[in-house]
Amino acid sequence: MIDISPSVMQFLLAFVVAAPLLGAAAALLPAPPGLKGKSPDQAVLRHGVTVTGAILLAALALTAGFDHDDPSRMQATTDVSWIRALDVRIHLGVDGISLPLLVLTALLTFLCALYSYFKPPTGPSPKAFVALLLVLEAGTLATFAVLDLVLFFLAFEMVLVPMYFLIARWGGEGRRAAAGKFILYTLLGSVVMLLGLLLVGIKAGTFDMVALAADGGRGLNTSVQVTAVLAIGVGLAVKTPMWPLHSWLPDAHTAAPTVGSVLLAGVLLKMGTYGFVRIALPISPDGMRTLAPYLAAFASVGIVYGSLACLALARPGSKGDLKRLIAYSSVGHMGFVLLGIATLTPTGVNGALFANIAHGLITGLLFFLVGAVKDRYGTADLDTLAGATGAALYGRAPRLGALLAFAAVASLGLPGLAGFWGEMLALFAAFDPAEGLSRPAYLVFMVLGGLGTLLTAAYLLIVVRRVCMGGPRPAGEPELADVQAYELAAWTPLAALTVLAGLWPAVLLGLTDPAVQQLLAGGTQ
């Protein structure tokens, strides 16, 4: 920890939340003389790298100044009145739960901007692309930093428009239908969530999330809590996405540009599970206790369903799209996150938060790599890639093949890599759920989760065999470019953090555990 004054910490958090919006507005303006570079397009893409880089540096400074000895306390707080009539406040703060997600968002957005500078997405003007990317970052960062239910909803919704246009304007085949399905599902879920948030705020007399968590649901009777969790949970479950509300996700990922898929999987899906931990668990504990077994049931079915869908796509002759397969894998992986939350135990919730970060790192890397394979081969269809001899990345592009195999084994939960700890903790918590929950039912959920891990290993190893292995390059087929320098720069941090989190999980768990313990015990300080 570096000793940084509270006022500077306040500024850093406010800068992290506000700077993307200012950067988005500046991206739409003409570039000043001398900063245009070779072309205006290059200038605006460089602007995106600069702004996201500054935000990442601010997030790292915020982490350095964070009091790691007291991660359960809200730090870098700002609390000013905004709409007096409704008692809505601009209340910002971070603790051990939200800080890792804040840094993950800043890192992934910077890496996406850096990747796009060297390989701009095919589509309309880069000005609009950079502006939308920054608005998306602003909404996501605000979701993890705000401590007012109304502001949370506004930030939660803020990401929909930029992601819709990133898919619809810069996506691939079927992009308009996929974008429409994405926004329709999430908007419908958000309407129900808003009703739940308003119910909590009106019944409790405040929208302040810290005050509501400290009250521990004592101001809300059980029927109100159950209704609120049901309404709020629907909106969060759509964004997570939880089976059977997941069907928008595979289409959105398949059609999205590479950086859109990275941010959708690495950041946006985390907003739903974060809402369960930050809002549902501490504010409506009785409601969560009532509905937790149902959440765990949906989560465990989703784990198996996602794995079986991936196994079907990986099978030879199925014409499975590799991006679609990774999208379905997210349904399974996020099922482990929901299962951990549904145990209502510190072990399970810590595992869920760890799995959140691990999924962001690993699946972000996977979508980068699949995008690179698609760029080189012109397709992500597994049957076309494998062909008669296999894509043979080990022999034709060894660094790309090695990175793809690494990301795959990390995703299947190999011990020593980040993907292992979160899923293991979620299963361990399901073996011994919170008091009052049916242990036989949770043992069934644990068995289903264990089956899901076996199926995950099966389909990912099939993918590695079909894409990375194979015979020599056929005569007349052009050489395949291996990993380029800019790709290595964008992918190395994700691979390094995957190893670091796997070998040293205490770095993350040491942040989340005190905050989770206090949250489950009745709120935050």
Tens digit of each residue's pLDDT (9 = 90 or more) over 415-425: 989 989 999 99
Q: Is 140 left (phi over 0), alpha (psi -120 to 50) or beta?
A: alpha
* Contact criterion met (CB below 8 Å) for 341 and 349: yes
d(CA 514, CA 353): 13
Mean pLDDT computed over 394-417: 89
d(CA 434, CA 430): 9
Burial profile 180-197: b = 16 or more Cβ within 10 angstroms, e = fewer = ebbbebbeebbebbbbbb
Mean pLDDT computed over 19-24: 92
pLDDT band of 525, cuts 50, 70, 90? very low
The percentage of residues in the chain with a pLDDT greater than 70, rounded to a whole number, is 95
Residues 6+ apart with CB under 8 A from 400: 369, 372, 373, 376, 393, 482, 483
Residue 390, pLDDT score: 63
| Eight-state DSSP code of residue 472 | P
Mean pLDDT computed over 108-124: 89
Residue 244, pLDDT score: 86
Residue 524, pLDDT score: 43
Residue 38, pLDDT score: 64
Residue 500, pLDDT score: 94
Residue 353, pLDDT score: 94
Beta bridge pairs of residue 80: 90
pLDDT at 196 over 50: yes
Residue 391, pLDDT score: 66
Mean pLDDT computed over 370-388: 80
Residue 301, pLDDT score: 94
More confident site: 84 or 455: 455
Residue 34, pLDDT score: 52
- What global pTM score does this model have? 0.92
Give the number of other CB atoms < 10 A from CB of residue 40.
Answer: 15
166-180, 289-303, 336-350: segment of lowest average pLDDT = 166-180
Helical packing angle, 398-411 and 418-431, nearest 10°: 10
Amino acid (one-letter) located at 422: G
- Tokens at residue 43, please? 């200038």
Give the phi and the psi of residue 434 in degrees, each rounded to 5.
-65, 155
Residue 474, pLDDT score: 60
* Contact criterion met (CB below 8 Å) for 517 and 346: yes
* Contact criterion met (CB below 8 Å) for 128 and 25: no
pLDDT band of 67, cuts 50, 70, 90? confident
d(CA 322, CA 314): 8
pLDDT band of 387, cuts 50, 70, 90? low
Residue 435, pLDDT score: 87
pLDDT at 190 over 90: no
Residue 16, pLDDT score: 94
pLDDT at 41 over 80: no
Residue 87, pLDDT score: 77
d(CA 278, CA 87): 20
Continuous segment of H or E residues that includes residue 91: strand 88-94
Average pLDDT, the chain: 87
The percentage of residues in the chain with a pLDDT greater than 90, rounded to a whole number, is 46
How distant is the alpha carbon of residue 96 from its chain centre? 17
* Contact criterion met (CB below 8 Å) for 473 and 392: yes
